[in-house]
Structure 1
Amino acid sequence: MRRIYFLVPNIDVTKKIVDELLLARIEEKHIHVIAKRGTPLENLPEASLLQKSDFVPAVQQGLAVGGSTGALAGLVAVALPPASTVIAGGVLLAGALAGAGIGAWISGMVGMSIGNRRIKEFEEAIEAGHMLVLADVPAARVEEIEERVKQHIPEVEVESTEPRVPAFP
């Protein structure tokens, strides 16, 4: 999946885009709308905290850093005498798993409190009254969806496309 960002001037055009995405068989759960705080979105699919925050990238970074740190701590524990081979493998594995878990948990909490880095570039436009539509589409359909939206709604701008979207949010 890849995420496409559409910056839209008003709610009427946003409704048209969402309808066009639904007609293109993009499920509603893969469409997210972000607007200025207090703007009524009516029946549009509002972006959740997962889309508005840096939770997913933070968890990924926490897993990597925590797992590496835990594995390093496990190696240090193995290097200290007395260490048998069986116990050493368990200590190394336990250290890596504990580090990854703790790193993901702490990073996830921090990521929830930080705004999404990708959306920050659109903050000015959102505060000015524009709406940002995020659509998660299959990688093979990105160009088709962009062209379909531009064809039916020429005033919309496709702002950017993320290289990939995590599967679980």
Structure 2
Amino acid sequence: MRRIYFLVPDIDSTKRVVNELLLARIEERHIHVIAKSGTPLEDLPEANLLQKSDFVPAVQQGLALGGTTGLLAGLVAVALPPASTVIAGGILLGTTVVSAGIGAWLSGMIGVNLGNRRIKEFEDAIEAGHFLVLADVPADRVEEIEKSIKQHIAEVEVETTEPKIPAFP
């Protein structure tokens, strides 16, 4: 899956973009709309916390950093004289898993409070009243969908496409 960002000038055009995506057989759960705070989105699919925050990238980074730290701490613990080779594997595994979990949890708590880095570049346009539509589409259909949206709705700007997105947001 790849995420396409469409910058749309008004709510009527946003509805047309969402309808065009639905006609292209993109499920509604893969379409997310972000607007200025307080703007009524009517029946449009609003972006949730996972799309608006840096939660997922932060958890991924925390998992990697915590796991690495735990692995190194486990290796140090195994190298110390009282550790026997029988319990060495348990120490190594335990410190790695626990540290990865703690790192993911702490990073997730920080990431949920940070705005999405990808959306920050659109903040001025959103505050000016534009709408940002995020569509998660199959990688092999990106060009087809971009072309279809541009062809049917001229005022829409296709801003950027992410190389890949996590499977669950």
Question: TM-score if structure 2 supplies the norm length?
Answer: 0.99
Say if 2:43 is the partner of 1:40: no
Render the CA deviation track for 1:29-63: whole Å, top value 9, x for unaligned: 00000000000000000000000000000000000
SS in 2 for 1:6: strand
Residue of structure 1 equivalent to 2:82: 82
Deviation sequence 1:59-80 (CA, Å, 0-9, x none): 0000000000000110111011
What letter matches 2:43 in structure 1? N
Equivalent-residue separation in structure 2 for 1:104 and 1:83 (angstroms): 28
Q: Deviations over 1:113-136 (max 9, x none)?
A: 000000000000000000000000
Q: CA RMSD in A?
A: 0.5
TM-fit CA distance, 1:19: 0.0
TM-score normalised by the chain length of structure 1: 0.99
- Quote the Cα distance in structure 2 between the aligned partners of 1:35 and 1:155: 17
Residue of structure 2 in register with 1:103 after alignment: 103
* 1:55-111: CA deviation from partner (whole Å, max 9, x where unpaired): 000000000000000001101110111222221111001111001000000000000
**In 2, Cα distance between the equivalents of 1:99 and 1:83?**
19
- Identical pairs, percent: 80
Residue in structure 2 matched with residue 23 of structure 1 by the alignment? 23
Q: What's the counterpart of residue 145 of structure 2?
A: 145
Aligned pair count?
169
Match of 2:49 in 1: 49
1:150-161 correspondence runs (5 A)? 150-161=150-161
Q: Which AA in structure 2 matches 1:5?
A: Y
* Aligned AA (1:114): L
Q: Which moved more, 1:73-82 or 1:43-52?
A: 73-82
Aligned to 2:36, the other structure's residue is in SS state coil
Q: Tell me, in whole angstroms, the C-alpha distance in 2 between the residues paired with 1:107 and 1:42.
A: 34
Residue 129 (structure 2) aligns with = 129
What is the CA deviation profile of residues 131-162 of structure 1, one whole-angstrom value per residue up to 9, with x for unaligned ones? 00000000010001100101100111100000
One-letter identity of the residue aligned with 1:78: V
